[in-house]
Structure 1
């Protein structure tokens, strides 16, 4: 599963800073020492104004700070963040992050994790 994350503040103007972060997972997801998080910011017009990766630790913790671009449409947008280059929703029912272990896993929803970001006029 991708790490649960938050964004602060939730309402900003263009040019202001937003910090997206997640605490370490309690379940040892073993993302690896070179893990990264894919972060996408979509404005109210549906434009992706940020599409980048940032470092993430082995336990899923990360912090990424950005300035809201000047061309971002005002209104309700969203931020998504998920582990980059990792199939965290394996449709076969196999957990590809725990290859050496024998366990039973329950499949979960593959809905894109996202939080709201409101850009004020």
Structure 2
């Protein structure tokens, strides 16, 4: 027959477990902390302004800096793609982005853009934006080709009128 644990040992084990849990909860609350392998720090939510435009009119795609530190680097770029209502990619370019993911890109709606809803895609260039590994969402230069994970690309609508 197994003897039950001594009450002092049970209290000590409970106390140790409570301390360990408190440490993990505190570390998780910090977010984007490199101490546990850097949890994903995804790009900030971007917006398209105005939400409706005619070909030739100016449109701005922008995002604020992330509240965590994704560390994109001093030469970071954002990839911006406009795909019109006919499925034609009418714009595919990069623009400067801050180390924390903020950017503001203004362009004229290309004249051959079909009337209807344009899908506006914006994501950091050279980064696995759909990092579902839980370790890091950045890709260093010279690393192997990234493979897109099976999740939806972030898209924002832009309505094109005539």
TM-score, normalized by length of structure 2? 0.64
Which residue of the partner structure matches residue 118 of structure 1? 159
Q: Deviations over 1:39-76 (max 9, x none)?
A: 00011001010000000000100000000111000001
- Identify unmatched segments of 5+ residues in structure 2: 1-41, 139-149
Q: Which has the higher strand share?
A: 1
Q: Per-residue deviation at 1:91?
A: 5.1
Structure 1 runs, 4 residues or longer, greater than 6 Å off = none
1:3/1:60 contact within 8 Å kept = yes
Which residue of the partner structure matches residue 95 of structure 1? 136
* Greater Rg over alpha carbons, structure: 2
Q: Deviations over 1:69-118 (max 9, x none)?
A: 11000001110000001123335443154xxxxxxxxxxx8421111000
- 1:58 to 2:99 alignment: yes
1:29-108 matches, within 5 Å, as 29-90=70-131, 92-97=133-138
CA distance in 1, matches of 2:99, 2:156: 22
- 1:16 to 2:57 alignment: yes
Q: Which has the higher helix share?
A: 2
| Bigger relative contact order, structure 1 or 2 (CA pairs below 8 A, ≥6 apart) | 1
CA distance in 2, matches of 1:71, 1:39: 17
